[in-house]
Amino acid sequence: MLQIGKFNSLKVIKQVPFGFYLDGGDDGEVLLPTKFADEACKVGDTCQVFVYHDSDSRLIATTQTPLAQVDECAFLKVVSVNNVGAFLDWGIDKDILVPYSEQDFPMAEGVSYVVFVYFDDETGRVAASTRLRDFLFEEGKNFDPKQEVDLLICGRSDMGYKAVINGSHLGLIFKDEVFKPLRIGQRTKGFIKRVREDNKIDLCFQFHDDGARNDLAEQIIDDLEAHGGISTLTDKSSAQEISKRFNVSKNVYKKALGALYKQKRILLDKSKVTLIK
């Protein structure tokens, strides 16, 4: 069965002056324009192609790779807005439409947004939506605390940042869990902090338990040994410097230094940290 808005393996059944026709099964023939066909392409070959409708509702195949297929999220830029909605650069020759009914707020030309790409059963076309909650799960019963996940930062709120989890769920990163700059559209790794009683998902970038603190303490010792036993990264250093070096918040770093100082493994002053050998 032909999957519109996704990659398909289709057989070449006919060659014409402007390209090749591929076998789309019950959906009929699919045109692969010459500019997208391999030079050695011939009748009988099987091609791996992405299938979509052109502006005249014809089925078109391309070897271009879109920035997202159906049922995926992506960070796409608006290239134009008209009376039917906003058109986004999809990474292929044809732009993708976000109808006004699928916009949480008016979209502006030149601005990028996180959208979900879907197949519209009513129109038979591929479209996109900023209404992520209509397509993604907000309850995470199958996630485990401390599970590493892929995140796509998709929005801000008074409480923190919203993120798409593994392309299928939505979760929240609270403000006090953010120790490095985040931007909408950024892809990053994170962790499931907890699944709340209402099954909503809280996310984080680090843990504050004894195991995490011990791991950080050993990283600090390793870093000191690699730099001759002295580091200028103290508890007075900026949060940005600390995050860049150890990918943790300043508060977590200070606690790890404090623990090492109590264990008499380091000396601390305002300008440096010194390893006690």
> Under a CB-based contact definition with an 8 Å cutoff, are residues 182 and 161 in contact?
yes
CATH number belonging to the domain at 7-62, selected among 3.90.550.10, 1.50.10.20, 3.30.1360.170, 2.40.50.140: 2.40.50.140
Domain boundaries, the chain: 7-62, 73-133, 148-204, 210-275
Q: Class of the 210-275 domain?
A: mainly alpha
Res. 242 pLDDT band, cuts 50 70 90: confident
Res. 68 pLDDT band, cuts 50 70 90: very high
C-alpha R_g of the chain: 25
> Under a CB-based contact definition with an 8 Å cutoff, are residues 180 and 189 in contact?
no
Instruction: Say yes or no to pLDDT of 189 above 80.
Output: yes
Res. 215 pLDDT band, cuts 50 70 90: confident
Rounded average pLDDT over 13-17: 93
Host H or E run for residue 12: strand 7-16
Instruction: Say yes or no to pLDDT of 88 above 90.
Output: yes
Over residues 107-131, the pLDDT tens digits come to 999 999 999 999 998 888 999 999 9
Res. 212 pLDDT band, cuts 50 70 90: low
The more confident residue out of 106 and 1 is 106
Instruction: Say yes or no to pLDDT of 269 above 70.
Output: yes
Shared fold status for 148-204 and 210-275: no
| Domain 148-204, CATH | 2.40.50.140
Which pair of structure tokens corresponds to residue 121? 């059963």
Question: Which residue type is seen at 96?
Answer: I
Q: Which residues pair with 77 in a beta bridge?
A: 112
How many Å apart are CA 194 and CA 15, to the nearest integer? Answer: 56
* Bridge-based pairing state of the strands 169-174 and 201-204: parallel
Architecture of domain 73-133: Beta Barrel (2.40)
Q: Which residues pair with 53 in a beta bridge?
A: 59
Rounded average pLDDT over 240-264: 83
Which pair of structure tokens corresponds to residue 147? 């599970």
| pTM, two decimal places | 0.80
